[in-house]
Structure 1
Amino acid sequence: MNTPGFGATAPRPVPILNIANLLTLARLVLVPLFVVCMFLDDPIWRFVAFAVFVVASITDRIDGELARRRNLVTDFGKVADPIADKALTGAALVVLSVLGELWWAVTIAILVREWGITALRFAVIRYGVIPASRGGKLKTVLQVVAISVYLFPLPEPFAIVAHVTMGAALAVTLITGLDYVVQAFRLWRGSRGGGKAVGAPFNRPEAQPPTAS
């Protein structure tokens, strides 16, 4: 008698406290440290804040690669990773606006787009998953670069570099946000009309909850 799967070893459960999730938690811990350094009135602490932001941003790249390569993807990581990302960039944008170095209109526009699209992707997850686009990845890179330029104390003649970079980041952020809204509408309309939805259905093995936008 042949038993299906006889002799096969069941896959080991992925521990929550793995290296990828620990890096995500470290990024969350670095957020308040970054904020405190920004409000300390000393040029040295400004450099420290810049370094903390850069290190935290690098962990975002590393933890995702580790999770995929070592099969360390967990439900906790899927939720915590985007929260850590948006907490870091959001804190940086808000602090820069509080200090009068960045227009509040820019900060509000980016934050509304970031958290709004994240909420939208989870809202339509019953119909399908909206995959992270190349534009979304470019948006993330531009935001990190733009914030880093603002954080680094450049001489006044070079301040235009920060403004131009942030302008590009804002434009890509809003354009990709509109694209996600269109995709979400197509998913919803496809489910209502019985048509084929755009995006991977959530019950397929290859589909995963949204982790980046």
Structure 2
Amino acid sequence: MTGAPASAAGGSGARPVRGGELGTAAVGQASLWNIANILTMVRLLLVPGFVMLLFHDGGDEPVWRAFAWAAFAVAMITDLFDGHLARRYDLVTDFGKIADPIADKAIMGAALVSLSVLGDLPWWITGVILFRELGITLMRFWVIRHAVIPASRGGKVKTLAQGTAVGMYVLMLTGPLATLRFWMMMVAVALTVLTGLDYVRQALVLRRKGIAAERVAAREAVIAVADASVAESAGETPGGVDAGAAVTRTGAAPRGPAEAER
């Protein structure tokens, strides 16, 4: 596949360029029914199906837990691809901007809460992860008027660690594998906390820089208004021509109404 189909780009028929990326003419023309949004919707639909499979027969049936793991794995895989496809082929839409993070939080939150309800995962782990995810989401909105907090490499590693650990808890593992999944979850929790603190630091720095830039812009606007007032009081005409200069060029000052009558 060298480029997005015309239908996926809003029917513009723009020719793919630069290794499959659409040109600037196609930006903002993505159709709602593109592959990235479809993957996001599939992930949203998998959430209730995953929960039903996980709780089937009281959540103690290994086969049904394996089916639940498969649904969870598909959801996590679509999470890896939909954002990449949207950016690479200019398929970003307002729906995708809203639905993608909701789908991400929904599948992970559903898994964590369900595992804690079943007694497989301590509630404090669920609380720490959910608190971090909700807090960072709110913080993004807090600084969005100043800047966008970019996804860091640590955040991507955190997501991978969370998905791996939660997936191992969905499966009914015993022996050394059960011990391994515990330590994997500890790594995921540590990354969750550390990356969360890093996001807080980034948010504070970006907000401080944004406020400073706004103050500089406001100061420059005040100076510009003051300069305009000084220029106006100095006698500049609306066209930028000084009245004295007009006298010099014409040899006489412009006649007023009384002189015109004479």
> TM-score band, normalised by the shorter chain?
0.7 to 0.9
* Equivalent of residue 144 in structure 2, options 112, 125, 129: 125
Q: Which moved more, 1:98-107 or 1:34-43?
A: 34-43
Following the alignment from structure 2 to structure 1, what is the Cα–Cα distance between the partners of residues 26 and 173? 56
Instruction: Pick which of 11-20 and 177-186 moved more.
Output: 11-20
The residue aligned with 1:153 is: 172
Q: Show the counterpart of 1:16.
A: 32
1:36 is matched by which residue type in structure 2?
Answer: M
Letter in 2 for 1:120: M
Structure 1 or 2: more helix by fraction: 2
What is the deviation of 1:32? Answer: 0.5
1:3 counterpart residue number: none
Aligned counterpart for 1:137 among listed residues 156, 163, 172: 156
Please give the alpha-carbon distance, in whole angstroms, between the structure 1 residues aligned to 2:25 and 2:181.
Answer: 54
Root mean square deviation of aligned Cα: 1.9
Q: Distance in 1 between matches of 2:25 and 2:98?
A: 29
Range 62-71 or range 10-19, more displaced? 10-19
SS of corresponding position for 2:148:
coil
Alpha-carbon distance in 2 for matches of 1:153, 1:121: 36
Cα 1:139–1:9, aligned 2, differ >3 Å: closer, same or farther? closer
Give secondary structure in 2 for the equivalent of 1:40.
helix
Q: Are 1:186 and 2:202 matched, yes or no?
A: no
Instruction: Work out whether 1:110 is the aligned partner of 2:129.
Output: yes
| Residue deviations 1:133-182 (CA, integer Å, cap 9, x gap) | 00000000000000111112212342111110000000001100011111
Match of 1:64 in 2: 83
Q: Is the 8 A contact 2:28 2:90 kept in 1?
A: no
Larger Rg: 2
Q: Given the superposition, is the C-alpha separation of residues 153 and 14 from structure 1 closer, same or farther in structure 2, using an over 3 Å criterion?
A: same
The structure with higher relative contact order (CA 8 Å, sep 6+) is 1
Between 9-18 and 37-46, the greater mean CA deviation after superposition: 9-18
Please give the alpha-carbon distance, in whole angstroms, between the structure 2 residues aligned to 1:166 and 1:43: 20
SS in 2 for 1:17: coil
Q: For residue 95 of structure 1, report the CA deviation from its aligned partner.
A: 0.6
The 3 A distance-change label for structure 1 pair 187 and 152 is same
Pair 12,183 (structure 1): closer, same or farther in 2 beyond 3 Å: closer
The CA distance in 1 between the partners of 2:71 and 2:200, in whole Å, is: 33
Unaligned runs of 5+ in 2: 1-23, 216-262
Measured at CA, do residues 157 and 78 of structure 1 come closer, stay the same or move farther in structure 2, by a change above 3 Å?
A: same
Tell me which residue corresponds to 2:49: 33
2:253 — aligned with what? none
The 1:94–1:193 alpha-carbon spacing in structure 2 relative to 1, beyond 3 Å, is same
Asked if the contact 2:36–2:83 (Cα under 8 Å) also holds between the matched residues in 1, the reply is yes
1: CA distance, partners of 2:25 / 2:90: 16
- How many residues in Structure 1 have an aligned counterpart in Structure 2? 189
Deviations along 1:41-89, one digit per CA (max 9) or x if unpaired, are: 2222111001100011111112122212221111211121111011111
| Partner deviation per Cα, 1:159-213 (whole Å, 9 max, x = no partner) | 11111000000000110001111111112222333489xxxxxxxxxxxxxxxxx
Please give the TM-score of this superposition, normalised by the length of structure 2.
Answer: 0.68
Scaled by the length of structure 1, the TM-score of the pair is: 0.83
2:100 counterpart of 1:81: yes
User: How far 1:112 moved relative to its partner?
Assistant: 0.6
Percent of paired sites with the same residue = 55
State the distance in 2 between where 1:57 and 1:119 align.
23
Q: How many angstroms apart in 2 are the aligned matches of 1:139 and 1:87?
A: 17
CA distance in 2, matches of 1:190, 1:67: 30
Cα distance in 2 for partners of 1:31, 1:184 equals: 30
Q: 2:191 aligns with which of 146, 151, 172?
A: 172
In the alignment, structure 1 segments of 5+ residues that lack a partner are 1-7, 197-213
